[in-house]
Structure 1
Amino acid sequence: MNRLSCKRTIATVTSTRAEYGLLRGLLQKIQASPALELRLVVTGAHLCGRLGRTVAEIEADGLPIAARLPILDETCPDEPVARTIARTIAVFDDEFTAHRPDAVLLLGDRFEIFAVAVAAAARHIPIAHISGGDVTLGAADESYRHCITKMAAVHFPSCADSAARLLRMGEAPDTVFCVGGLGDENIRTLPKMSREELCRSTGFDLMQPFGLVTYHPETACDAGDPAAQADALCRAMTAVPGVFWLITGSNADAGGAVCTAKMQDFAASHPDRAGFINSLGLRRYLSAMNYAAVVAGNSSSGVVETPTFGVPAVNIGSRQAGRTLCANVICCEASAPAIEAALRRALTPRFRQIARTAQSPYNGGDTSARIVKILETFDFSRPKVFYDGPGTGSGRA
């Protein structure tokens, strides 16, 4: 507890543009809460030049940044993940020693966030975890996410399937709050650009039919070659006529730099058919999704957020395998013929009509306000127990 203000200090960590886009509204509400003190810690890709230094988006929103903690090696885009994890644990152990919060709020499943959770758990600092219980079989994030769950004191899953999975993992029911998805809330509440504004902002003609494309490397142990998969996507985009491809950069995972380079080369080689922007930022990204004829790639947003818009989505490969899917999503393998066929189907009037009927399972109403209320009142001093199910009792973990 912050002794001077009698507020709870909630340290919130953001490492990527996508994560910050989801957290943005929640951070503003934490900052406005009379019972909470926001300590915003910025790290990872936000502070990395080769990944767009997206901390500028946070600065533009005017949120107070309490600490900027670099963890990525600018000179080594393919540094082994284990080394980055080790560095991140050390950096955040220093942070939590110098500035001990009442709780650490973390979203998702990336290796950087896992490392932050390890540092917090080792210092016996309670963790509040957003989006636990999800499944992404094609990414190493799968194991990181579930590890964070077992370290967390309170859980904010984004849909009923994920909440039920947390209970099966042994999390006590009174620590699991199915609040809905922050991405869904953003879509419903954030003012979008007009199509004309989007054209001016990106510098591309998006009055024509366009596809929004984000492709990340697969990181499961049996993942294929990211360069070959990115090439397959580029060949498929070339083969599908009548569509301009608006492409964003890949993430900081191993192989991400290769995927980004492939997409940049494709856009440079097809200036009349494609444009590349490393990071669109939240408002431009959601605005682009709103007007897109199709959303393609393997980003979680293609599965989780497109149903709210009712836009067709093509989910490539296995990175998002296991997530709850809606009627607007077509899944395909990461080969050029399969991607081309899926894109062509997604662009048909018949499938567009199917996509419009999609019902998102992630609508929890005022998700961010619900999270804030729980952060204000949850008893973080309670011991964590393993929940064995109804009528079986529970023992301390």
Structure 2
Amino acid sequence: MKKLLYVTGSRAEYGIMKRLLLALKEDKEIDFTLVATGMHCDENYGNTYKVIEQDGFEIDKLININIDTSNNAKILQSMSICQSEFGQYFQDNKFDAVIILGDRYEIFSVAIAAAMHNLPIIHLHGGEKTLGNYDEFIRHSITKMSKLHLASTEEYRKRIIQMGEHPDTVFNVGALGAENAMLMDLPNKEALETRFGNFDKPYFMVVFHPETLSVTSVEVQFNELLLALDGFTGEYDFFFIGSNSDTGADKIKDKTLEFCAKTKSKYFTSVQPEEYLALNKYSQGLIGNSSSGLIEIPSLKIPTINIGDRQKGRVRGLSVIDVKCDRRSILDGIIKSKTNILNCNGDNPYYKKNVMSKITRLINSEIDKLSYNKDFYDNDGAM
């Protein structure tokens, strides 16, 4: 039996992985362990480790990294705590592999600690580009520390190989999030209204995260969004989901609460994975700059108004409207989303059939091969 660890640091990434984690937990060939850190351990983000426990998982350890998003120096302090804590955790606990998803700074610290302990890393969602955020270079750095790569599109698979990873270790499996939106048992509209209050008007979902590599301040970016939304408050409601714990997130929360108090919009610090998808399903579309707008939301056949450069470089489907981070462009994007010009019935480029079963089979079949010291693969352009 192989000892397998999953480390989760945020509600969004846990929501993507939940179905897979439940399958791994029940797999008789795997001794499964889960550790929670980052936003899960912070009251400001809803103490979402409780959601994980409600889903039936036993959390082996909660690692609080004292998140402070006021500036990059504070973020680096959290990363330092995370790396130190996981360095000791991996010294005290042995695993055959650790699974991590994505590109967040706390996951970067986990990856460094694991790599220094020669613990094989299985990485999901490598090879992607997000040019407006520090997630961009974090993701590619994690790729170089990982030994098994589960990419979400063929373009991303090729990019991972371009980075020197051997083709035999890189697989295009599709995106779990795109499959989740189609297969998860979602609450109906009546259940959502019981939970969150009546939906008096048609509504848009709003998820906006700091664009951390932009020369424009977070406050200016978010003000442009709020100015655009203000023009539609007589026609639509707006349901805000709290942003990730990136640099400047505290400023977004303060301005969101002010806007919600003025317009009677709704603000949710955090919601459960099924609730997030269902809220979007019954909405007019998603406005913001979340990766979910490109990966998961197109499976629900609703539009995404994708703002600014945070997701610049990512593959996207026809239901995504890209707009600049200014009031006029966002207004135009919302108007376009209500016309017949937009195709929300096209294929989601992140969706492949049986993603979860493919991943579980690959983990079981490849885990014994991960202990080798990998070489740099020099390709000649053929992938």
TM-score (norm 1): 0.92
Alpha-carbon offset, residue 368 of structure 1: 1.9
Distance 1:73 1:310, change over 3 A: closer
1:172 pairs, out of 160, 166, 179, with 166
Q: Which residue of 1 aligns with 2:154?
A: 160
Conservation of the 8 A alpha-carbon contact between 2:38 and 2:67? no
Corresponding residue number in structure 1 for 2:372:
382
Contact 1:31 1:37 (C-alpha < 8 Å) held by counterparts: yes
Question: Can you list the C-alpha shifts for 1:129-174, whole angstroms capped at 9, x where unaligned?
Answer: 0000111001100000000000000000011111111111111111
**Matching residue of 1:293:** 284
- Return the offset for 1:383: 2.5
1:253 partnered with 2:246 = yes
- Residue number in structure 2 paired with 1:368: 356
Gap change, CA 1:138 and 1:189, over 3 Å in 2: same
For the pair 1:144 / 2:132, whether they are aligned, the reply is no
Q: 2: CA distance between counterparts of 1:156 and 1:312?
A: 27
The one-letter code of the counterpart of 1:185 is E
Q: How far did residue 262 of structure 1 move?
A: 1.1
Q: Which residue of 1 aligns with 2:115?
A: 121
> Are the equivalent residues in 2 in contact too, given 1:308–1:358 (CA < 8 A)?
no
1:3 is aligned to none
Q: Which amino acid in 1 is paired with 2:29?
A: A
1:313/1:73 CA distance change after superposition, 3 Å:
closer
- Corresponding residue SS for 1:21: helix
Q: Which amino acid aligns with 1:306?
A: I
Paired residue type of 1:254: T
Aligned to 1:93, the other structure's residue is in SS state helix
Quote the residue 1:190 is aligned against.
184
Q: Which moved more, 1:377-386 or 1:125-134?
A: 377-386
**2:258 pairs with 1:268:** no
- Partner of 1:386: helix, strand, or coil? coil
Conserved 8 A contact 2:181-2:277: yes
Whether 1:311 aligns to 2:305 is no
Q: Which residue of 1 aligns with 2:205?
A: 212
Alignment of structure 1 residues 104-119 onto 2, 5 Å = 104-119=98-113
Separation (CA, whole Å) in 2 of partners of 1:256 and 1:223: 16
Task: Give me the whole-angstrom Cα distance separating, in 2, the residues matched to 1:106 and 1:15.
Answer: 9
Q: 1:29-44 maps to which residues of 2 (within 5 A)?
A: 29-44=23-38
**Which residue of 307, 310, 313 maps to 1:322?**
313
1:53 & 1:223 partners in 2: Cα distance? 32
Q: CA RMSD in A?
A: 1.5
Q: CA deviation at 1:225?
A: 0.8
The 1:19/1:320 distance shift into structure 2, 3 A limit, reads same
SS at match of 2:376: strand
Shift in Å, 1:314: 0.4
1:238 counterpart letter in structure 2: D
Conservation of the 8 A alpha-carbon contact between 2:67 and 2:75: no
Displacement of 1:358 in angstroms is 2.2
Gaps of 5+ in 2: none
Task: Provide the aligned length of Structure 1 versus Structure 2.
Answer: 378
Q: CA deviation at 1:337?
A: 1.5
How far residue 390 of structure 1 moved from its aligned partner, in angstroms, is 5.4
What residue number does 2:237 align with? 244
Q: 1:198 Cα shift?
A: 1.2
- State how far apart, in whole Å, the 2-side matches of 1:375 and 1:12 are: 12
* Pairing partner for 1:90 from 69, 84, 88: 84
2:89 is the counterpart of 1:101 = no
Deviations 1:269-299 (A, max 9, x none): 111xx11111122011000111111210000
Q: What is the identity, as a one-letter code, of the residue corresponding to 1:117?
A: A
Distance 1:391 1:256, change over 3 A: closer
Instruction: Tell me if structure 2 keeps the 8 A contact 1:105–1:127.
Output: yes
Name stretches of at least 5 consecutive residues in structure 1 with no aligned partner. 1-6, 393-397
Aligned equivalent of 1:13, options 7, 12, 18? 7
